[in-house]
């Protein structure tokens, strides 16, 4: 059982499990028993906690982010007994466990939405959602309009609502109607759902679309699509948006905090809020509110020393000001894998950075991804790691349309890369069918043959693999308490001691100067996009008595760490 008292998340490494793609106990879709059977891998990796994406009962139109019953397990993932066993197994390995709560919308199969359809216009059942006689001009995050007419639904013909011309709001897929959070019934129901899982022993929640729950009740027109962090541009967007980042969301999380406190001081909430700048992120983090909010500016930052330095410094300063630590996140199930993204000159321009058919910037991206993780693991605060990052796994860029499932891909076809390429099931065993993902050799998305090289067993046996680099980094992080803000002097000008932040005081220009490499390649032409760009050696502030056992050079091949 985890013993660390109190605010464990402040310096935790938290690993995201995407249940359908992590491990399967049989069949092409990953499940909870599969996840239990592979938890040892995470204990050995040295993380402190796991976050599981949704496994609740769901028609799976958005891979489980469309919940039909928040208190039940989807049969594809297992049973309630399995989930109880997962919590127990995680705790017995010393791992905290966080579930994913989806409060912005339900599935259109949720009993509330069925009741709303049946009860018709003007009914209290419809007040739990946003039904209106006419739509406004809002756009769905997934593309297309954010409103669907009830009588246009596939299930309308022959139903009591077949001639109902009212519309309902969905900021995501039409199967994900938005809840009306000004309705006290909605508020009470979610507090109860939180209690349901807290009683079962869960240590916290990742709150999906945390910045979107409250809408301007006048539903004024607003022509833009979504709040996706794009550096500075997002600032105006979020400020003006009638559905993103409204003050009312904070009242909800203050209520939730009280619910968590009923169960003691060591349960946490982390917001998925696509807002910027850092001061807007920090607004979610208060002693009486969220424990953390993902810093997506770090994820979306272009790979330049100046930009990253600014993002890191802003985050540290703003989180310090509210008495919290920062969070660092490089990838998740919604974005192109860092190995592909970071190879691009404009890596920060999520999500349109890569189009199918573009040449893959493999080597550069793979080395930068390791460097970025080394940096993250040395920074004060908590580091979130997306499944497969510890293997330095590539994005699958060549998935045929007929195998894809992401509704965002189909609604924006031709414009975005889609989210299936980062969701391909993990390779565990190099020489097993489906690389050991499932005992019967099945996998809901095909794994590229070259993933053999990335299989957990193969990397585990290779002392120079990314996996063994991650193991050493996290062991070192623990030993030196690198994530622990208490050891690092984060003052106003961010002067920092030699334990990890010295590089923040290094002039940005010198961070771009490549160090001499093994083969001696000082004569290269382009310092910034150069293949010799270094992640750790001499530049990541790890030199102060910290030794990654001679494996700090990242220059040797895309999936190997040099012994330089």
| Cα separation values, 97 from 8, 9, 79, 161, 485, Å | 12, 11, 17, 42, 22
By the rule CB under 6 A, 256 interacts with ligand TEU: no
Question: Which region holds residue 209: left if phi is over 0, alpha if psi is between -120 and 50, else beta?
Answer: left
In angstroms, rounded to a whole number, what is the distance separating the alpha carbons of residues 264 and 287?
A: 14
Check the CA dihedral 55-70-59-140 and report its sign.
negative
Catalytic residue list contains 262 = yes
Token pair of 498 as six digits: 């030699």
Write out the binding residues for ligand TEU, residues 432-491 only, by CB under 6 A. none
- Note whether 49 binds ligand TEU by CB under 6 A: no
Instruction: Give yes or no for residue 62 binding ligand TEU (CB under 6 A).
Output: yes
Per-residue DSSP letter, 100: E
Among the listed residues 192, 262, 440, 493, the single catalytic one is: 262
Instruction: State the Cα–Cα distance between residues 481 and 359, nearest whole angstrom.
Output: 40
Show the tokens assigned to 523.
Answer: 């004569």
Question: Which one, 333 or 560, has the nearer CB to ligand TEU?
Answer: 333
Q: By CB under 6 A, name the one of 47, 141, 370, 391 that touches ligand TEU.
A: 141
Cα 8 from Cα 4, distance rounded (Å): 6
Q: Does residue 274 bind ligand TEU (CB under 6 A)?
A: yes
Site for ligand TEU contains 334 (CB under 6 A): yes
Contact map string, positions 393 to 412, toward ligand TEU, x by CB under 6 A? ---------------x----
Which of residues 208 and 405 has its CB atom nearest to ligand TEU in the complex?
Answer: 208
Q: How far is the CB of 102 from ligand TEU (least distance, A)?
A: 6
| Smallest gap from residue 271 Cβ to ligand TEU (A) | 11
By the 10 Å C-beta count (0-12 exposed, 13-18 middle, 19+ buried), 355 is classed as exposed
Taking the C-alpha atoms of residue 440 and residue 383, their distance in angstroms, rounded to an integer, is 34
The SS3 of residue 484 is coil
Write down the H helix ranges in 200-328: 233-240, 248-261, 278-282, 296-299, 305-321
The interface mask with ligand TEU, positions 346-375, x = CB under 6 A, is -----x------------------------
Q: Which residues contact 155 (CB under 8 A, 6 or more apart)?
A: none
Give the one residue of 8, 55, 65, 205 binding ligand TEU; rule: CB under 6 A.
Answer: 65
228 binds ligand TEU (CB under 6 A): yes
Which token pair is 209? 């679309």
User: Which one from 68, 208, 334, 537 is the annotated catalytic residue?
Assistant: 208
> Between 352 and 481, whose beta carbon lies closer to ligand TEU?
352
Q: How far is the CB of 272 from ligand TEU (least distance, A)?
A: 6
Position 208 contacts ligand TEU (CB under 6 A): yes
- By CB under 6 A, is residue 390 in contact with ligand TEU? no
Distance of alpha carbon 282 from alpha carbon 538, whole angstroms: 31
Please report whether residue 102 would count as binding ligand TEU according to CB under 6 A.
yes
Q: State the residues that interact with ligand TEU by CB under 6 A.
A: 62, 65, 102, 141, 172, 208-209, 228, 272, 274, 333-334, 351, 408
Residues carrying an active site annotation: 208, 262
């Amino acid at each position: 059982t985890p013993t660390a008292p109190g605010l464990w998340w402040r310096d935790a490494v938290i690993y995201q499990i995407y249940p359908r793609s992590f491990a399967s106990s049989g069949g092409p879709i990953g499940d909870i028993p599969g996840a239990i059977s592979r938890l040892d891998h995470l204990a050995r990796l040295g993380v402190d906690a796991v976050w599981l994406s949704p496994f609740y009962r769901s028609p799976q139109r958005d891979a489980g982010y469309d919940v039909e019953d928040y208190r039940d397990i989807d049969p594809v993932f297992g049973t309630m007994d399995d989930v109880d066993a997962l919590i127990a197994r995680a705790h017995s390995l010393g791992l905290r466990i966080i579930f994913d709560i989806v409060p912005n919308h339900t599935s259109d199969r949720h009993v509330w939405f069925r009741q709303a359809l049946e009860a018709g216009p003007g009914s209290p059942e419809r007040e739990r959602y946003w039904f209106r006689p006419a739509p406004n001009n809002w756009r769905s995050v997934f593309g297309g309009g954010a409103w669907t007419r009830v009588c246009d639904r596939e299930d309308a013909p022959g139903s009591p609502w077949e001639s109902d011309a009212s519309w309902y709001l969905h900021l995501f897929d039409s199967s994900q109607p938005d809840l009306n959070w000004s309705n006290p019934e909605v508020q009470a129901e979610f507090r109860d759902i939180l209690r349901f899982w807290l009683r079962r022993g869960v240590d916290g929640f990742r709150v999906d679309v945390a910045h979107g729950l409250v809408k301007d009740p006048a539903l004024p027109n607003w022509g833009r699509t979504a709040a996706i962090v794009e550096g500075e541009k997002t600032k105006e967007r979020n400020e003006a948006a009638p559905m993103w980042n409204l003050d009312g969301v904070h009242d909800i999380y203050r209520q939730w905090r009280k619910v968590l406190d009923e169960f003691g001081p060591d349960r946490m909430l982390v917001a998925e809020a696509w807002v910027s700048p850092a001061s807007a992120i920090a607004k979610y983090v208060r002693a009486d509110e969220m424990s953390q909010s993902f810093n997506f500016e770090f994820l979306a930052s272009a790979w330049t020393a100046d930009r990253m330095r600014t993002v890191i410094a802003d985050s540290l300063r703003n989180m310090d000001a509210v008495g919290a630590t920062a969070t660092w996140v490089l990838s998740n199930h919604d974005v192109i894998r860092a190995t592909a993204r970071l190879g691009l000159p404009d890596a920060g321009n999520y999500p349109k950075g890569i189009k199918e058919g573009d040449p893959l910037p493999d080597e550069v991206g793979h080395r930068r991804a390791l460097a970025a993780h080394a940096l993250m693991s040395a920074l004060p605060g908590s580091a979130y790691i997306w499944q497969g990052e510890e293997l330095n796994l590539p994005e699958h860029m060549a998935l045929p349309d007929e195998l894809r499932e992401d509704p965002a891909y189909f609604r924006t076809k031709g414009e975005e890369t889609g989210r299936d390429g980062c969701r391909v099931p993990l390779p565990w065993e190099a020489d097993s069918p489906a690389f050991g993902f499932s005992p019967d050799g099945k996998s809901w998305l095909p794994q590229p043959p070259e993933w053999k090289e990335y299989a957990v067993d193969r990397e585990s046996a290779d002392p120079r693999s990314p996996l063994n680099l991650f193991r050493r980094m996290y062991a070192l992080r623990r030993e030196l308490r690198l994530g622990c803000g208490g050891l690092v002097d984060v003052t106003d000008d961010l002067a920092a001691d030699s334990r990890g932040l010295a590089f923040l005081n290094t002039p940005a220009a010198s961070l771009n100067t490549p160090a001499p490499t093994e083969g001696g390649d000082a004569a290269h032409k382009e310092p910034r996009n150069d293949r010799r760009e270094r992640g750790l050696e001499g530049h990541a502030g790890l030199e102060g008595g910290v030794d990654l056992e001679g494996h700090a050079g990242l220059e040797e091949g895309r999936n190997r760490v040099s012994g330089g």
